[in-house]
Amino acid sequence: MSILKIWDLHLKYDGPVTQEFMEGNTSLAKSITEEEGIIWKIWTHEEGTSHFGSTYLFKNEEYLMKYREMHIKRLNRIGITEITDHIFDVLEDLSKINNAPLS
């Protein structure tokens, strides 16, 4: 039995959220839909700050760890080094009560 995993990622990006930023990340978002093991991703930004984040739902830890290693290297290559992250098991029975999008 595989256990669903949440990957919660936070980073600092000093550039503004411009149309160019959105267009560049649109192609990244589309490529993420092709990554094996990712069920969904939510993109976040704290308005007025340089704080960005993502919350992913993965089918299992194996997929998460493979993607995590690749993605952190990708972020480092573009100069993002201030990264914090956490990995959580999903408590599916309780989450379903609250209509969590688990599939």
The span from the CA of 62 to the CA of 51, in Å, is: 27
Q: Positive or negative CA dihedral for 27, 38, 41, 65?
A: negative
Instruction: Flag whether 52 is in a domain.
Output: no
Residue 92 placed within a domain: no
Q: How confident is the model at residue 4 (pLDDT cuts 50, 70, 90)?
A: very high
Would 99 be classed as within a structural domain? no
Read off the tokens for 100. 């969590």
Domain count, the chain: 1
Write out the H or E segment, with its range, that includes residue 19.
helix 19-32
Q: Within a domain: residue 36?
A: yes
**Is 73 inside any structural domain?**
yes
For residue range 34-82, list pLDDT tens digits in order. 999 999 999 999 999 999 999 999 999 999 999 999 999 999 998 999 9
Q: Is residue 69 part of a domain?
A: yes
95: in domain: no
> Whole-structure pTM over 0.75, yes or no?
yes
Residue 75, Cβ density class (10 Å: 0-12 exposed, 13-18 middle, ≥19 buried): middle
Structural domain that includes position 72: 17-45+63-83
Overall size of the chain counted in residues: 103
Per the domain annotation, does 25 fall within a domain? yes
Q: In whole angstroms, what is the distance from residue 9 CA to residue 72 CA?
A: 10
Grade residue 1 by pLDDT with cuts at 50, 70 and 90: very low
